[in-house]
DNA sequence: CGTGGCCCCTGTGGGC
DNA sequence: TGCCCACAGGGGCCAC
């Protein structure tokens, strides 16, 4: 679901609602969406099984419902104050006054909502973690919830801001400030398609399938071109296009295709910026050539064969 | 080592 | 109406 503009919009709307609040209760409904530092392999490590071992959906659900270890609720900021909400790329972090950090990754369908007192949630299923919040004065501030139907997202508990910084240092520069040199440093020698390199969060943090296609269109670069074949001026144009589309999409509060909502439940309007994503077969807004689509890096990719020529535009 | 392919999940929309 | 299939905004892991 969310790329950088959507996560930044969640960050802002969430900060408005929960910054300064104290956590007076934590409910963990699904232990397996949470990864603590002592979990083996740092989470996300799911065993490889044959279809027979995997069983039916119901069997898997029952297996997972018996979660192994308890989570220390203080690691999820119980009795702590939420002093800051940060973002790098597509990742969000609640920073407690104690220094503890809760890193949230929304994956494809994750959302963080903070309904005020009395405000209803849009959906009551797939709520994996719930926090109860109080204002500094002690009044109720409602709740904050993590919901994620597909569970490609997750929550990592980290002991210190330094541990958070260490994690984020493994990602590339944030998309809002990416430079041509930054892109070239991360992907200039890669023999992958340039789109695959953009989707790799070590190249640039925050670009996903929508904004990869949109930034390639804006810079006139075909998604299939080998990253190592791009010139310095190609990287420069591409970086400029990434900064531009991302910041414009933030202004419009993100792209709501179907599920995405900000922390207050509001959809965003950034789909109005889309020139190629979701428009395969329709005509290019710039030159009227029908837009093409093809799988690149296992993701549906849409581009204009005329505005984005296969070799050096 | 870098890379492509497969997998993790649930929900939805289209075709029959 | 119901069934089956393809597809969806992400990314980890493994065999090459």
Q: Tell me the per-residue pLDDT of A86-114, one tens digit each, with 9 for 90 and over.
A: 999 999 999 999 999 999 999 999 999 99
Q: What is the pLDDT of residue A266?
A: 96
Average pLDDT over residues A162-191: 98
More confident residue, A63 or A285: A285
Determine whether A277 is exposed, middle or buried from the number of CB atoms within 10 Å of its CB (0-12, 13-18, 19+): buried
CA distance A59 to A312: 52
Pick out residues whose CB falls under 7 Å from strand C: A 1-3, 6, 41-42, 44-45, 48, 89-90, 105, 107-108, 150, 152, 199, 201, 208-210, 254-260, 298-300
A90 given a catalytic annotation: yes
Which residue of the set A17, A87, A90, A143 is catalytic? A90
Q: Calculate ∠ Cα A164-A168-A170, nearest 5°.
A: 130
A299 given a catalytic annotation: yes
At A46-65, the pLDDT tens digits run 444 444 555 554 454 444 44
Average pLDDT over residues A138-142: 94
A305 given a catalytic annotation: no
CA distance A103 to A157: 6
Cα-based torsion angle of the residue sequence A103, A239, A183, A181 in order, rounded to the nearest 10 degrees: -120
Question: Which contacts qualify for A277-285: CB closer than 8 Å, 24 or more apart?
Answer: A277/A209, A277/A210, A277/A213, A277/A214, A277/A302, A278/A302
Nearest nucleotide by C1' from A209 CA?
C9
Collapse the DSSP code of A159 into the 3-class scheme (helix H, G, I; strand E, B; otherwise coil) and give the result: coil
The mean of the pLDDT values for chain A is 92
Average pLDDT over residues A224-239: 98
Which residue of the set A31, A299, A305, A306 is catalytic? A299
Q: What is the pLDDT of residue A313?
A: 41
Question: How far is the first Cα of chain A from the last one, in angstroms, to the nearest whole number?
Answer: 31
Nearest nucleotide by C1' from A44 CA?
C12
Token code pair at residue A80: 């702590």
At A179-188, the pLDDT tens digits run 999 999 999 9
Q: Are A11 and A86 in contact (CB under 8 A)?
A: yes
A103, β-bridge pairs: A93, A156
Distance A1 CA to C2 C1' (A): 29
Whether pLDDT at A43 is above 70: no
Please give the radius of gyration of chain A, using alpha carbons only, rounded to the nearest integer: 21
């Amino acid at each position: 679901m969310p790329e950088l503009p959507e996560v930044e919009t969640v960050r802002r709307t969430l900060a408005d609602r929960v910054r300064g609040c104290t956590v007076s209760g934590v409910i963990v409904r699904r232990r397996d969406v949470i990864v603590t530092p002592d979990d083996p392999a740092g989470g996300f490590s799911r065993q490889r099984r044959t279809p027979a071992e995997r069983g039916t959906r119901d069997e898997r659900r029952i297996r997972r419902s018996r979660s192994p270890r308890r989570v220390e609720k203080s690691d999820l900021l119980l009795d702590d104050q939420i002093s800051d909400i940060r973002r790098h790329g597509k990742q969000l972090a609640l920073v407690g006054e104690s220094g503890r950090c809760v890193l949230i990754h929304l994956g494809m369908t994750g959302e963080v909502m903070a309904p005020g007192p009395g405000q209803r949630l849009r959906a009551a299923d797939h709520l994996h973690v719930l926090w109860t919040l109080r204002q500094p004065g002690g009044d109720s501030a409602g709740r904050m919830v993590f919901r994620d139907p597909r569970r490609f997202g997750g929550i990592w508990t980290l002991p210190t801001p330094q541990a958070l910084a260490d994690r984020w240092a493994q990602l590339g520069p944030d998309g809002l400030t990416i430079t041509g040199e930054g892109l070239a440093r991360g992907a200039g020698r890669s023999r992958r398609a340039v789109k695959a390199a953009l989707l790799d969060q070590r190249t640039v943090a925050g670009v996903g399938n929508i904004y990869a296609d949109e930034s390639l269109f804006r810079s006139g670069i075909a998604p299939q071109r080998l990253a190592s074949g791009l010139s310095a001026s190609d990287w420069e144009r591409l970086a400029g296009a990434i900064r531009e589309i991302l910041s414009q999409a933030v202004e419009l509060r993100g792209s709501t295709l179907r599920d995405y909502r900000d922390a207050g439940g509001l959809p965003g309007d950034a789909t109005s910026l889309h020139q190629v994503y979701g428009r395969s077969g329709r005509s290019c807004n710039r030159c009227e050539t029908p837009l093409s689509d093809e799988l690149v890096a296992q993701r549906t990719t849409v581009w204009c064969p005329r505005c984005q020529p296969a070799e050096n535009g």
